[in-house]
Amino acid sequence: MSTLPFVSENDVRQDGTSENEKRPIIHLHGVQKSYRTAVGDYPALKNIDLEINAGEFVSVIGKSGSGKTTLINMITGIDHPTSGEVWVTDTAVHRLRENQMARWRGKNLGIVFQFFQLLPIISVVENVMLPMDFCNSYPMRQRAARALHLLDLVGLADHAYKLPTALSGGQQQRVAIARALANDPPILIADEPTGNLDSKTAESVFALFNDLISQGKTIIIVTHDSGLAKRTNRTALIADGEIVNEYLAKALSTLTPAQLLEAARRIQPIQYEAGAMIMTEGRSSDKFYVVSKGTVEVVLPRPNQSDVIAVQLGPGKYFGEMEFFHQHRNLASVRAYEHGQVEVLAMDYATLNELLSQSEPTREVLHQGADLHEQENVQRRGEPQ
């Protein structure tokens, strides 16, 4: 396994994984961060586990003070965890010394700050060249041409020789993105990248991010805009220093962050091998399930005919709600897809009922879904309504 500059061989995980196997480009394991205050230690992050694969577009959302910025500071190495591990591009970021950190960061991360942070006394193109100068990543004679190319990418080549103060806020944000791409880093991290932009400019910035994703970049954005977050591939919701299980949050989106955290503490992850039965038609059910990995198949029996696969459910989808609301045996069987292992998050009905008693909107959504799915299943089975 190859290592990055300034990292000892002991800092690279020796787990036997071959270079060709897919591994997360970012991996946080058991990360905790506490700050000392006059009244004692304040836990900003609590036992964070997070994996992000190469090429993913991930949003980090949460209320002010929830831990979003601290989480990003762990990934970028701006701050160090009190305990736990932070791996980025196979580098143990939590072990890097300060003199190693800046150069590693310059080559591997592109960071877009909310307030641009462009140097006002040098031109736009010189701002974009700065990371190349710092890391000596391109021959000097190529740097200006590359900077102009990046400015063209963000639609600002015509403004290359202006000072940043001559540009609008949206234009300065795009310059900041060009600068973040200067050393061709695999990962781009943006803090509220559209927070100070009008809707049209924000849309153009988001379109640029999608283009970069299609080129293989990994992008993480910190945002308070839930609408924007829904347009990314994945959303990491953080509340009170903890990351809410993303699949539970997707399945039960009407719960508050606090309710989701409580629910996450009371679910049981269960793994099933390919083709294994999870629920069997005709038997009593006592659990509500959310798919967290892989795919499950809902299989319906039909009178005098072969069984039919009614639907396939992937991560973030749920099943078992019909039995909860209609108090009868399973109307269908549910099995793991035959071509891959499956993980589900199981919650017993007593816990689900307690949770729903705290959230009438969630009860209503699940109940409506149960009624609809039961009607669809009856139609697929060919039974009279």
Amino acid at 143: R
> DSSP of 95-159, one letter per residue?
G--HHHHHHHHHHHEEEE-TT----TTS-HHHHHHHHHHHHT-S-HHHHHHHHHHHHHHTT-GGG
Q: Which two tokens stand for residue 269?
A: 């992850």
Q: What is the pLDDT along the chain (385 residues), one digit of tens a residue?
A: 222 222 333 333 333 333 334 578 999 999 999 998 888 889 999 999 999 999 999 999 988 888 999 999 999 999 999 999 999 999 999 999 888 898 899 889 999 887 788 999 999 999 999 999 998 889 999 999 999 999 998 889 999 999 999 998 888 988 999 999 999 999 999 988 877 777 887 888 888 899 999 999 999 999 887 788 888 988 888 988 999 988 999 899 899 888 998 999 899 999 999 999 999 888 888 899 999 999 999 988 776 677 788 889 999 999 999 889 887 677 788 999 988 899 999 999 999 999 999 999 999 999 998 888 877 766 666 554 4
* Structural domains of the chain ordered from first start: 9-243 (3.40.50.300), 261-381 (2.60.120.10)
Q: What is the pTM of this model?
A: 0.79
Sequence-separated (6 or more) residues with CB below 8 Å from residue 350: none
Amino acid at 170: G
The angle at the Cα of 100, spanning 127 to 61, to the nearest 5 degrees, equals 65
Amino acid at 223: T
Amino acid at 303: P
Could you tell me what percentage of the chain is helix, strand and coil, using 3-state DSSP and rounding each to the nearest 5?
35, 30, 35
CA separation for the pair 152, 125 (Å, rounded): 11
Beta-bridge mates of residue 234: 58
Neighbours of 352 (CB within 10 A): 22
Helix spans in the chain (H): 68-76, 98-108, 124-135, 140-153, 169-180, 199-214, 226-229, 246-251, 257-265, 321-326, 349-356, 360-381
